[in-house]
Amino acid sequence: MINVTKSFLPPFETYTKYLEGIWSRAHLTNNGPLLLELEEKLKDYFGSEYFIFLNNGTSALQLAIKGLGLTGEIITTPFSYVATTSSIVWENCQPAFADIDPNTLNIDPTKIEALVNPKTTAILATHVYGIPCDVEAIDKIAKKHKLKVIYDAAHAFGVVYKDKMLVNYGDASTLSFHATKLFHTTEGGGLVTNDEAVAHKFSYMRNFGHKGQEDFWGVGINAKNSEFHAAMGLSVFPYIDELIKKRRELTELYDDLLLSGNSGIVRPSIPKGTEYNYAYYPIVLESEKLLLSVRDSLLAEFIQPRRYFYPSLSSLNYVNKYEVPVCEDISKRALCLPLYYELEPDQVKRICQIIRQVLRFKS
C-alpha cells in the first residue's frame, strides 16, 4: 500500500542516544532538558520571540482561544481539518464561516468583514496545505475591528512569506507535530507568539496554571509534552532541509506528469513571495464524479489518496449554517495524492499513469 503520507523516521541510533540520556536522568516530563532544548531550537528556527511546545496541535488551538480571552463568535474557514472548528466550539465560542478563495483555498478576506458583528472577537484562519493566507488583508480587517488573529499553521512548518516565517503573523500561530507532518515529534504541537504577556499565559496554562508547587497563576490544563517526544523532534530537526528538498522534487515530478496539456487538473495557487514547504500535493478535479473515479482507481492499485478536506466544516451537526458555495464545491473535488520522503519517483509515475488513464477514459 502506498499511503497518502508516511512518517519520516530518523536513524534509530540517533533517537536511542537521546533515550540513553533520558534513562540516566530519569527526568521524563515537566520541562526536561530535551524539551527546553527543542523549544530553543524551534524558537530560533522560526525567528520568534516565544515558542511553547505542547502535546498536540488541538491543544494549541484551544490554548490560543482561551489564552487570548476569546468569547462569542470567531470568524473561521470551513476548509480545514475538523480540529480548527471543534476547538472553537469546545471553548464555548461559535464559528462563523467565511467562504474560501477558489485559487489559494484559504479563507477569502473579502468574505470576512460582512460577518463581523458586536459578538465577534477574532479571526481564526488556516494556512491550508501550508499556503499563506492573505495575512495583510486579514491584519487590516482585524485592526479595523479590534479583533485578535490566530493562524492555524499546522501545515506551515518552515514556510517563509515575504522574508518572514509564516508562523510570526497574527497574535498567535498554532502548530501540529503529529507523526504525519513534515516535522514531527510523534505526537505534539506548539504555539508561537511575539507577545510576552500572551506567551506567559500560554506557558502556565499548559501546566495546570502552576506558579511553583503551591501557587497558581490561573486556570490551566495538562497540555505538556514529554522528553521522549522532544527526543524525536531533536532527531528529526536536522533533516528538515533534506525533507523539503525531496518533497519539492516529487512535487515537480507530479506537476510535469499531471499538469501538461488540458488535463482538467487544477492546483492551488501559492502567493508570490512564498518559500513553500511542499507539505502536501493537492489537486482539484473537474467534478466529484471524476474525483471518485480517480480515487477508486488508485485504491484498486493499493494506492491511498485522501479527500483532504471533506466534507465542508459548515456541514457539521454542531455548528450554525452559513452559505459557503465555493468551499462546498471545492471540498467535493479536492484530493491529496501521496507525498512523503520515502516515496520513489517510479511510484509517482505509476500514480500519475493511473490518473491520466482515468482522465483519458473520461474524455
94 is a domain residue:
yes
In angstroms, rounded to a whole number, what is the distance separating the alpha carbons of residues 223 and 57? 10
- Per-residue pLDDT tens over the stretch 119-150: 999 999 999 999 999 999 999 999 999 999 99
4 is a domain residue:
no
Range of the domain at 42: 12-238
- Per-residue pLDDT tens over the stretch 301-338: 999 999 999 999 999 999 999 999 999 999 999 999 99
Say yes or no to pLDDT of 361 above 80: no
Note whether 270 and 201 are same-domain residues: no
| pTM for this entry | 0.97
7 is a domain residue:
no
CB 153 within 8 A of CB 135: no
Element (H, E) at 173: strand 172-176
In angstroms, rounded to a whole number, what is the distance separating the alpha carbons of residues 348 and 338? 8
Note whether 331 and 356 are same-domain residues: yes
124 is a domain residue:
yes
Note whether 110 and 221 are same-domain residues: yes
Note whether 43 and 181 are same-domain residues: yes
Note whether 118 and 191 are same-domain residues: yes
Domain final residue, candidates 186, 219, 238: 238
Note whether 234 and 252 are same-domain residues: no
Count of other CB atoms within 10 angstroms of residue 321: 9
Domain final residue, candidates 222, 238, 254: 238
- Per-residue pLDDT tens over the stretch 52-106: 999 999 999 999 999 999 999 999 999 999 999 999 999 999 999 999 999 999 9
Say yes or no to pLDDT of 363 above 70: no
Note whether 46 and 160 are same-domain residues: yes
CB 82 within 8 A of CB 247: no
CATH number at residue 230: 3.40.640.10
Domain final residue, candidates 238, 272, 306: 238
Torsion, Cα of 281, 282, 286, 291 (10° steps): 90
6 is a domain residue:
no
Note whether 197 and 48 are same-domain residues: yes
Note whether 327 and 185 are same-domain residues: no
Count of domains forming the chain? 2
Note whether 283 and 200 are same-domain residues: no
Note whether 140 and 168 are same-domain residues: yes
